[in-house]
Chains A and B, each alone.
Chain A
Amino acid sequence: SQAMKKWVQGNSDEAQEEMAWQIAKMIVNDVVHQSNHDSPSKSTKL
């Protein structure tokens, strides 16, 4: 919403920064999520 307001008031650097920040967060979250779900099975030789 902060980003949206700034978009409406004119395309400021701040608004672009805010948008870039949001997207960066989304990407990092996706990566974390993905790596947590990799190799869900474990095997140990006994």
Chain B
Amino acid sequence: RDEDLKPKLCKLEKTSGSYGFHLNGIQGVLGQHIKEVVKGGPADRAGLEDNDIVVEVNGVNVEHRRYDEVVDMIRRSGDSLEMLVAKKSVYDK
């Protein structure tokens, strides 16, 4: 399907203090990805899926940012968050 090949712009609103996903990174490797999306949670409803690569946070490209920086940006975002993500298979193209 075509829509599977596009990056996704996801808008999240915090529910009970959480967006309902984990941000994972690997030390020494560029790029952060989504893990442990809580079913029915904000991330799930916004269309985020496990292993999605984070491209932008609130319109800022984070592909070359350190893991700690990206976590910080998301935390400082308040109660809502906009993320541009791509499936790993799409991102690698």
Contacts and interface: CB of A to CB of B under 8 A. Distances in A.
A46 B19 contact: yes
A42 to B, nearest CB: 5
B27 A44 contact: no
Interface in A1-46: 39-46
Nearest to B32: A42
B6 interface: no
Interface in B4-59: 18-19, 21-28, 35-36
Nearest to A42: B25
Contact of A46 (B25, B67, B74): B74
B64 interface: no
B27 A42 contact: yes
B75 interface: yes
B26 A44 contact: no
Contacts of B25: 41-42
Contacts of A42: 24-27, 67
Interface of B: 18-19, 21-28, 35-36, 67, 71, 74-75
Interface of A: 39-46
22 contacts: A39-B27, A40-B26, A40-B27, A41-B24, A41-B25, A41-B26, A42-B24, A42-B26, A42-B27, A43-B22, A43-B23, A43-B24, A43-B35, A43-B36, A44-B22, A44-B24, A45-B18, A45-B22, A45-B36, A46-B21, A46-B22, A46-B75
